[in-house]
Amino acid sequence: MSIWLTLAAVAVLAAITLSIVLVLRLEHPWLQPWAIARAAVQLGILTVILAGVISNVLWVALFLVVMVLAATWVVFRRLGLARRFLPIISGTIIVAAAIPTTAIFVTGAVEFSPRYVLAVGGIIVGNTMTVSTLMGRSLGSLIVSQRDEIEAWLSVGATPRRAALRAVRSAASTALIPSTDQTRTTGIVTLPGAFVGAVFAGASPLVAAEFQLLVLAAILAAGAITVALFSATFGAPEVLPLADSPLGGRVVPASLGAP
């Protein structure tokens, strides 16, 4: 595979994306092409870094820390949270990624080596970030749309957690849909990256399938842990937010109603 042919194909795909976004007049039309450009630069840097990192435990650990910090910042920015939530988001991502990753290596299903820790950990951290964003956005939107119902529960003496329970459950279910669908359709609708990458690296299809199954199960476990931690943190609102800042920023006491 030629790097120049790859770049040419990427440029064509980016142009197609930009054209459609411009025609549809979507918000921030340069966001998707810019994401592709960033991915190209970041992957280029990654290939250089991994050459000296992939066999060193300390460097792999440091690289995973950087991944967690980057994922934390993305979730923080996407959800528009107050800065006091940064440690909570970071802790959520760490715990949600660490538990299934540890389970994989403790059971001996995958050899404990720096390269595999980086591969498994990186995949799970990335998916945890996605679930966190989906959970936060869905929960914030549902709390706003169900404000009257939540206030009704509060007015009859329900606890904040009980009052917001329906919104929390719905948000958690929504956040897990992409991971669940990816797992359900693997091998039928999609050929997952871990499977294809392992095959291209020379592994047998059986070994690649075993690795992919572990990754999918770990992603779902991490997602479940993520929504549970988000529910514990944001599932009992003492105040109800305004529509412009669902989980952080300007809020008003629930007992006062909408301004």
Q: Closest by alpha carbon to 248, among 160, 159, 144, 172?
A: 144
| 179, 220 Cβ separation under 8 angstroms | yes
Burial of 255 (0-12, 13-18, 19+ CB in 10 A): exposed
C-alpha–C-alpha distance, residues 34 and 36, integer Å: 5
What are the tokens at 132?
């966190």
pLDDT tier for residue 121 given thresholds of 50, 70 and 90:
very high
pLDDT of residue 252: 39
The answer on pLDDT for 148 being more than 50 is: yes
Residues 157-167 have pLDDT tens digits of: 889 899 899 99
d(CA 16, CA 29): 12
- pLDDT at position 251 over 60: no
The string of pLDDT tens digits covering residues 11-60 is 898 899 989 989 988 888 888 888 888 888 888 777 776 666 677 788 88
Domain extent listing, the chain: 1-53, 55-256
